[in-house]
């Protein structure tokens, strides 16, 4: 007797200034999985948003220089950010908040003026993650004076990891969560894995057949310098800041895609590779993570065990 395995079903909706995509292997599980995802999205927004006046991150930034006790979720998000800084040798640093504001990224990306005539202030290096004092036991945090945290390199990826894991646990089926370029898979994957189409912009994949990769578990993240861009004083700027300079990272790579055990690690390393430019291979080699790097002219560099490109019409993303 032949059994029929239902095709994965999906829900897609806007969230966190990007697109949330949820796929499940059991169509009956979609409502419960979506409830889990939406709850996690609401929680990270009120905890880690740089753009909400009522978020915990806003409160923490306003108390820079003074010890303050943070909530459990914020403490976990901060520990992820500090781990990402250690993992990447400081190429990803949560103390870049002031640099992003100085560049003009001081509101949600959708609200940015596409061409801002204001001059760009003189860039300054980030204060540095090693100056953050945090006690995980008491959850007491002290930032360096005048420092603003930005958790963009880890908080969204952490949400993808948590939502996928919790939804898979609640439904017993395979789950894939995508938040922009951050994806996490949990539970039993469909036969052949989740087929993920790769593109500069997750919201505008190339027409027709394009490169894709299969994911069965863990995280996959793509960072790039082509999508979140704006102009200020005649300069084209993007959102990935080099902590050492306070300037947008040089565009050595158009996109970097990394696979790792978690989406948090994948996104931290893909972001760091953009910052490091030609030095990215050293970091990726030391961590033994598979990666696909694309230069501005379209040249593809594969590192680690990243497979050759294969086409996948109708990829999962």
165 Cβ contact partners less than 8 Å away, ≥ 6 residues apart: 184, 186
Q: Band of the pLDDT at 123, cuts 50, 70, 90?
A: confident
Q: Band of the pLDDT at 105, cuts 50, 70, 90?
A: confident
Domains, the chain, in order of start with CATH, read 9-311 (3.10.520.10)
Q: Band of the pLDDT at 106, cuts 50, 70, 90?
A: confident
Q: What is the pLDDT of residues 267-283, one digit of tens each?
A: 999 999 999 999 999 99
Stretch 132-159: mean pLDDT: 97
Q: Band of the pLDDT at 2, cuts 50, 70, 90?
A: very low
Q: Band of the pLDDT at 314, cuts 50, 70, 90?
A: very low
Least confident among 23-37, 136-150, 224-238: 224-238
Stretch 35-51: mean pLDDT: 97
Least confident among 2-11, 62-71, 209-218, 258-267: 2-11
């Amino acid at each position: 007797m032949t059994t029929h395995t239902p095709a994965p079903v999906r829900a897609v909706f806007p969230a966190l200034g990007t697109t949330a995509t949820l796929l499940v292997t059991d169509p009956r599980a979609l409502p419960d999985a979506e409830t889990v995802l939406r709850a996690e999205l609401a929680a990270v927004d009120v905890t880690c948003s740089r753009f909400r006046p009522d978020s915990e991150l806003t409160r923490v930034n306003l108390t820079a220089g003074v010890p303050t006790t943070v909530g459990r979720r914020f403490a976990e998000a901060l520990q992820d950010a500090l781990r990402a800084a250690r993992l990447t040798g400081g190429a990803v640093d949560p103390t870049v908040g002031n640099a992003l504001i100085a560049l003009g990224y001081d509101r949600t990306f959708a609200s940015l003026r596409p061409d801002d005539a204001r001059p760009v202030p003189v860039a300054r290096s980030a204060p540095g993650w090693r100056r953050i004092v945090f006690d995980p036991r008491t959850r007491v945090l002290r930032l360096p004076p005048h420092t603003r945290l930005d958790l963009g390199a880890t908080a969204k990826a952490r949400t993808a990891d948590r939502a996928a894991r919790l939804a898979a646990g609640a439904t017993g089926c395979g789950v894939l969560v995508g938040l922009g370029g951050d994806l996490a898979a949990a539970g039993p994957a469909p036969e052949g894995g989740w087929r993920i189409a790769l593109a500069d912009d997750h919201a505008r994949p190339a027409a027709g057949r394009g490169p894709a990769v299969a994911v069965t578990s863990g995280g996959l993240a793509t960072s790039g310098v082509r999508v979140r861009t704006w102009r200020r004083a005649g300069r084209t700027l993007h959102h990935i800041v080099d902590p050492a300079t306070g300037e947008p990272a040089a565009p050595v790579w158009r996109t970097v895609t990394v696979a790792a055990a978690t989406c948090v690690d994948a996104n931290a390393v893909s972001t760091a590779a953009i910052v490091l430019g030609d030095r990215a291979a050293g970091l990726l080699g030391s961590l033994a993570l598979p990666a696909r790097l694309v230069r501005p002219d379209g040249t593809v560099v594969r590192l680690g065990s990243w497979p050759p490109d294969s086409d996948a019409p109708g990829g999962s993303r």
